[in-house]
Structure 1
Amino acid sequence: MGFPGTWMTESESVVYRVVPKCACSTIGQIMYYSDHGEFFDGDIHDATQGLHKWARDESQPLINANVKTHSSYAFTCVRNPYTRILSSFFDKICGIQRNGKRYRGNLVPLIIQKYGIEVGEPEDGFEFDQIKSFRRFLLFARDTIRWRRPMEPDIHWSAMSGHVSTFIVNGGRYDKIFWTETFNEGMQEVLDAIDTPVEVKLDEVPRFNESEGHGPKRVHPVEDYFDDLSMHLVKEIYNRDFKLFKYDFDDPSNKMPVGEIDLDEVHAKLGD
């Protein structure tokens, strides 16, 4: 199976396991900059050179050899499951993608038809009942993850622990897992632990939020989107994420972690 979703600098200074919707655009650009002294012109997910990616055939032997021998510092980044699934909804379901179209072609019409959600249109300022639609989307997300219908789960809303685990199961080991909510502190720890060809000054790095501005703005506080049933669905989907990455399940308004991530626990529980 190898190491899907894994990126590595060309200098092999650092290895990163991408977790979608967890600052991956910014992290990828920092890695690119640390080798080349400039940011990639465009969305880093589109880069086909300047950064090793498992999706590039020529990168696979290099990533495989590095990870299997733990030759470089390896890390990943996680996010509160409540804000992550909300972000996925507004970006991937309601937003217009960078190619000017809806995400995954017939996906949005499918869930409009089967689950009765609304997503609005750019022409009407994306006017729709966000809370009602989001809760219906959550049912859809649960169905894809639990029963793989009406389609396979999408990487943007499948559990973070699933992404994180493939790296471990196939022979990798993380040196650091940090939270998007304390991004600067976590990313600085990574940079302090590695030697890069180009120095990165984190406070001068822009945020690369590639999904921003393509869809509706969230108009309610996070907690308003989650009633008792929604919280039950979130627990069904993301229970392991809350426990391993130390987020507060009981209070959707608290996006901050409530404990320290135990790397040994993560490796033990996700390494099966």
Structure 2
Amino acid sequence: MVQTQTIPYYHATGREEEVFTHAFRNKIPFLLKGPTGTGKSRFIEYMAHQLDQRIITISCHEETSATDLIGRFIIKGAETVWLDGPLTTAVKEGAIIYLDEVAEARPDVIVAIHSLTDHRRELFIDKLGETVKAHDNFMLVASFNPGYQRGFKELKPSTRQRFIAVSFEYPEPRVETEILVNETQVNAEIAKKLVNIGNKIRNLTELGLTETVSTRLLVDAAKLIHSGLPKRLSVHTAVVEPLTDDLQTLEALKDICDLMI
């Protein structure tokens, strides 16, 4: 018996669905820009489902190399065999490849995808001496967090201009409340309080937080509350503690949350 795949929940905040669909049809690479936890990955999962396409997600980090994406030779018994990497698989089979936080990857990754992001739409596998033309349904999608990367790891303008781009921000309070209710089944009153806490902390720029409260953290807090964990403890562990290790900042945030919840 074939199980029906659950549609990933996503609440559009603009015309990003329309833009993505046209990018897919026109075989244009797609770049998502925005802070952590604003729904970038969920959006890609949702659009892959809407377009009935397979999605292969790679969470990039400082050790992610072109070899990891393209493939490598491995020893199998007494033989040396070639094993396609996730990028090569997506190119051949016509899947959506999603490079999450692409700016974190090693520079050779950017070099490897260049020929897939222009009119050529091909991947050169230097270890095999082969060039693979991309399947018609292949699509390259990448994301990065401009605020976090600024001054550390940036995408070069020459790379950015190979994509069309959409910016993701935290949803407006009404939409974010709806997201919490739909994701966790927590009641609307609690969801609204959590969203108010999130927006309060986001506006406290004087705390100097590297990252602020993401919708993801609010969803986690709502899940804990809905499952029966006390509200204050849920907010402390799901929202406050992940943000900082500084004791004074922790106490200040906990006091604010206790008053608001």
Structure with greater proportional strand content: 2
Could you tell me the TM-score, scaled by structure 2's length?
A: 0.24
Structure label with greater radius of gyration: 2
Higher relative contact order (CA 8 A, sep 6+): 1
Could you tell me the TM-score, scaled by structure 1's length?
A: 0.23
